[in-house]
Structure 1
């Protein structure tokens, strides 16, 4: 965009990105989409994924450009964004590389609480909303000072079934588990290991958490887990509170404090 003031920065993957002022934005990640709206960027957001559901009253007005791991490139090209915002884990490498050939793409890479805080302020800087981003960051930090530690139980956190997949170490969800004072039995395994029923039973968890996303575990799934781990407590939990690393973290502490795990 010749003649339009721009800034050159680096994303969380270390890639250089040149971004024009007041960019027209496509967001490829639900939690970051919510953050962008909370930064006051409604007028600049032109496209989101079909999984971007918050804030519901605003995202429904935006053009859907496919899913987080399957982009509709024709729709993206039709929108001609000035900036695309994605995430290393939630999006797919081939799709991001194809987008980089045409557009500035800023990628987050988040495994820790500090990564999330850095991402929030970085997005504020590149979108001209730094003061609001710092305010959001401060509210999150202040909130987590009030986080109550849970009873230190041995836990498995499930995100999928058939195959059964749990959250391992070096993940943002594991970071939340640790902050709650729980011990993740899969922390020493892969980031998202598959477990057989025998492996689940052998780990002898005190607590099994069934996430509401990405697989929508419901109460009807509890009996199956109870049959293999009869002494474990089984709970359905709000996956957004454990895995959304944007402004949703403002609400997370209140949710965690009332869980009483």
Structure 2
């Protein structure tokens, strides 16, 4: 007689996510950190999902159960971006590196259009397989007294039941040069780099592989895609000094049809001499 651990479970995706986020470093940590980020969930045709979607639009929030398709393996201990006391057991975290890479996010439902479910606050990548959709039901899903677990180690009041971020945020300010550069990048590429910088550094400026923060010869540095952000820290205040290209100068020499390299070449020429 076979036991449950001997049986294979078969999951068939019901659709995929369509969004502008294509790499893991672009994804927000949680839906709360992806405020306003739009996505479209395309359900597959020919499966009667048109009928399954009836009445879903009456719910302002929905659960999306999905598959972390970029995570082929798992880790029993992980280093969450908010941990100030070392690695944690993966079952005590929201890490995508799980034995079964199943994700669970609450998103705002914008509208249902045929087989397309439009949502906001999406923290999923383009092409993510969707396994199920369920309504978020406030009276049973909301538990304000749930506590904060090991996040209390990061400075929150132990046992706090307030529905606010338990981690005390750092104050992040941009110097004029960094503001100018961030605006240029956002206008030129569509990357919301200023918000990415703020949301990451507000969690803490110490070196962290997940947040892509490290110390360099020039000081503290944060990586956002191919950009490198230089900043300084004094107490709980973080000052964003400047943004530089993450490409080496030799990579940007000469002409290229690559849009990314062309953008970085233009950026470097524009701020040549203003950032060492």
TM over 0.5: same fold?
A: no
Q: Which has the higher helix share?
A: 1
With normalisation by structure 1, the TM-score equals: 0.29
